[in-house]
Chains A and B, each alone.
Chain A
């Protein structure tokens, strides 16, 4: 494969060309309710050529890996049609590397029958809880081998692995329907999905417990976010704003996101890293052949960095960060987060609770969305806080606000820290990417709670 790729890259007239070929194999097992719904495997082979000429991009993707040289010239001529300025890509030293996936316990060595037995046992565990209406259980593993080369002399063979188990539980009491979920993901170890019976039981019991919850009052409240929800907040509310593709051609947003600006208290530190072992947002090289790393976005309350592709780093004159990621061979890479986190601070959870007279303790989440300055996310589990004590459970709590004011309103960062064990999937521009989110507990002095 290397010869074919390097041969195709030999003669071209573009400013930059890259070729990415991928083989993937994945297995999925899903259950709905007590019944197994689907077992299947998918095999994919495909590739792409991407070229830049005078600042314009051409991209060609395909399943048949033939006539690579012809595909290079097609991508180059498309790019030429577009370009009418200068291609500005940050310089990255050429790399020659082979990255093998190293599995602690390899999912591909585990027979399908054993994976199914394990999932069967989780389904049974869920259904031991009374008032369960339905459930979904999903197991997945994936293997991706990528061949990457570009016209600056980089050649990388990179393997990546992934194993996930996800559980969704729906409880019902007459017309009242509540749900909860749990999940586990790893890039290197099948055993993260083993022995999770207690976690699965807890998720089922939570869905049932939420049947007794009340909808919240709408309005502004003091809120405490648990580590999972605060991690999503870091991702949704600040991470997306740090993606340089949103910023580099928007002068006004560049002013807002100017490095050195203060966004929060000195106890606030936000990072994005591709090097946390085992997380599904980690990898050695991004889809432009740039080594991954750890990037501080906010350090001691101050904006110190952002996330880049080769192009955004080149245009903004900043250092490359290795954040260009593509969902698959059929699409070009976008600037994406990896594993985004609020770093631990010093405040114990008890001290945060003591601060709150009338507020909400929010745990875990269904989803999150952002429109740059505004964010919203929905809590899976929530409790009223009254006079420093946890009170009745609340259901359907959605939090929303302006990113900048909410960051300013973070008044304490916890001394605990956890990555969301479920891993996350982030959607952007029609592409999804596995990401990680993590944080300690966080206390926000004012946040808008949607209520009825």
Chain B
């Protein structure tokens, strides 16, 4: 069907590219301590991108089984090309299939019973720790096939398997609500319910007692998850080639300059085996690489898809990512923060006299991402007193500027971990941030 659509499209267009995806997914969920639902999702769809009279056209459809459906898809792409942007790219002519390992037959072989057992084990571990926990658990497996082919013969095809296990607990005391969650995901059948449950239990125990915090400036230790929720979003925006092209990135003019603390190195890496953000190529057929965005504090590269790179006069970086119904745009694969020499999380806590740990900052992503200003409610965090955790902080906001914070790093931990599937980072201790709280 891919070839058939490509043939039809190249009859009217100079260049054509077809992206076909199909996936089957089996998510099961437990709610309020018991199994709630089993879902089975099948989906498939085809995206057509063309260049006609030098302009880009796009169509996407999941209605593909009737005669005439493919012609209708070509027609909609041709119609949109009348008004489309001028094409500034050449699609690759290499067909890339090798490289990274993202398929594990053991994931494909997981049965419903296996997934139920994974979820049940996580649930039991949590419930056995504390009968007051109200737990939700989700386990899922997905197998997807992707085929990309363009009229120059370039493209890719790959199969990806993903298994995930997530759990959250709610603990309500009076009007005091505590929600703690953890989510693990991999392309390999390697998920440990024990590890997921342990992570949640540790956070709950650290948060079980109320700490006290005053409005002032203090060191703030971001766990990998906390880092992702508070400081990374402005950077993701600033390194995006589109933001740079529009002149809206505060880093746009600073390529090659030291902007961040020299301890900070961040990669975008699509070549990590078994990581959900990895694949042989991006969604335009450009092979993926590991690229330093920040190296020892220096701004090294921005990320581009083909069209954005063409407009900016920059090299494509293999970051053309798309949801099937829209054009490729710069997107990250796996964000990797290089470990430092600060030791374990406990070592980092041990070095702070008075400060807080941020596990998750709520709402920090909603600030003005362009300026780097952020301000988030510490949804889950703890007070540090004399090198020890001293209870949960609540009704507290942490605020600052992401650029200033990452220029003023006291230490980077030595033990990175995955947070949320495609972000791999150690904890980072920022020397000084504003913490405000409700008085009285």
Which residues of A does B touch, CB under 8 Å? 23, 28-29, 32-33, 35-46, 56-64, 66, 74, 78-79, 81-82, 84, 112-113, 116, 133-134, 170, 172, 175-179, 215, 218-220, 249-250, 252-253, 256, 330-332, 366-369, 371-378, 395-398, 400-402, 404, 448-452
Contacts of B215 in A (CB 8 A): 218-219
Contacts of B73 in A (CB 8 A): 43
B244-252, B334-342, B344-352: which lies at the interface: B244-252
In order of increasing CB-CB distance, the 3 nearest A-B pairs are: A218-B436, A376-B363, A249-B32
A220 and B438 contact, CB distance less than 8 A: yes
A404 and B40 contact, CB distance less than 8 A: no
Contacts of A219 in B (CB 8 A): 215, 436, 439
Interface size on B, residues (CB 8 A): 80
A378 and B63 contact, CB distance less than 8 A: no
B85 and A450 contact, CB distance less than 8 A: no
Q: A37-B85, A79-B37, A112-B79 are in contact. List 12 more A-B contacts (CB 8 A).
A: A39-B57, A41-B76, A42-B59, A44-B61, A57-B37, A62-B42, A82-B36, A113-B83, A177-B368, A218-B215, A250-B170, A366-B368
Give CA–CA (A401, B396) in the complex, Å.
8
Q: Could you list 17 A-B pairs, sorted by A, with CB under 8 Å?
A: A23-B63, A33-B245, A43-B61, A45-B62, A60-B39, A133-B246, A133-B247, A172-B248, A172-B370, A219-B436, A219-B439, A369-B363, A374-B395, A396-B367, A448-B436, A448-B437, A450-B376
Give CA–CA (A395, B368) in the complex, Å.
9
Contacts of A32 in B (CB 8 A): 242, 246
Contacts of A36 in B (CB 8 A): 83-85
| Contact among A38, A57, A116 with B36 in the assembled complex (CB-CB below 8 Å) | A57
- Distance in angstroms from B12 CB to nearest chain A CB is 16
| Contact among A23, A176, A372 with B371 in the assembled complex (CB-CB below 8 Å) | A176
B371 and A28 contact, CB distance less than 8 A: no
Question: With A218-B215, A378-B363 given, is the CB distance from A42 to B399 under 8 Å?
Answer: no
- Distance in angstroms from B93 CB to nearest chain A CB is 25
- Report if B194 contacts A (CB, 8 A): no
A368 and B248 contact, CB distance less than 8 A: no
Residue of A29, A57, A367, A404 most packed against chain B (CB within 10 A)? A57
| Contact among B31, B40, B56, B400 with A452 in the assembled complex (CB-CB below 8 Å) | B400
A170 and B436 contact, CB distance less than 8 A: no
A366 and B60 contact, CB distance less than 8 A: no
Give CA–CA (A74, B26) in the complex, Å.
13
- Distance in angstroms from A181 CB to nearest chain B CB is 11
Give CA–CA (A354, B44) in the complex, Å.
60
Question: With A59-B38, A170-B248, A369-B366 given, is the CB distance from A451 to B375 under 8 Å?
Answer: yes
Question: With A33-B246, A133-B248 given, is the CB distance from A378 to B375 under 8 Å?
Answer: yes
Give CA–CA (A377, B362) in the complex, Å.
9
Contacts of B134 in A (CB 8 A): 249-250
Contacts of B57 in A (CB 8 A): 39-40
Contacts of A60 in B (CB 8 A): 39-42
Question: With A249-B32, A250-B134 given, is the CB distance from A400 to B397 under 8 Å?
Answer: yes
B62 and A44 contact, CB distance less than 8 A: yes
- Distance in angstroms from A407 CB to nearest chain B CB is 12
B172-180, B266-274, B278-286, B418-426: which lies at the interface: B172-180
Give CA–CA (A374, B55) in the complex, Å.
48
A56 and B371 contact, CB distance less than 8 A: no
B248 and A56 contact, CB distance less than 8 A: no
- Report if B43 contacts A (CB, 8 A): yes
Fill in one digit per residue for B8-40: 1 if any A CB lies within 8 Å of its CB, else 0: 000000000000000000000001101111111
- Distance in angstroms from B118 CB to nearest chain A CB is 15
Residues 69-99 of B contacting A (Cβ, < 8 Å): 72-73, 76-77, 79-80, 82-85
Give CA–CA (A44, B373) in the complex, Å.
39
A40 and B58 contact, CB distance less than 8 A: yes
Contacts of A398 in B (CB 8 A): 363, 366-367, 375-377, 397, 399
A74 and B40 contact, CB distance less than 8 A: yes
Give CA–CA (A254, B37) in the complex, Å.
23
A250 and B60 contact, CB distance less than 8 A: no
| Contact among B62, B247, B327, B373 with A396 in the assembled complex (CB-CB below 8 Å) | B373
- Distance in angstroms from B252 CB to nearest chain A CB is 10
Contacts of A56 in B (CB 8 A): 35-38
Residue of A40, A66, A79, A404 most packed against chain B (CB within 10 A)? A40
Contacts of A112 in B (CB 8 A): 79-80, 82-83
B60 and A42 contact, CB distance less than 8 A: yes
| Contact among A59, A172, A449 with B39 in the assembled complex (CB-CB below 8 Å) | A59
- A66 nearest CB neighbor, chain B only: B65
- B37 nearest CB neighbor, chain A only: A57
- Report if B45 contacts A (CB, 8 A): yes
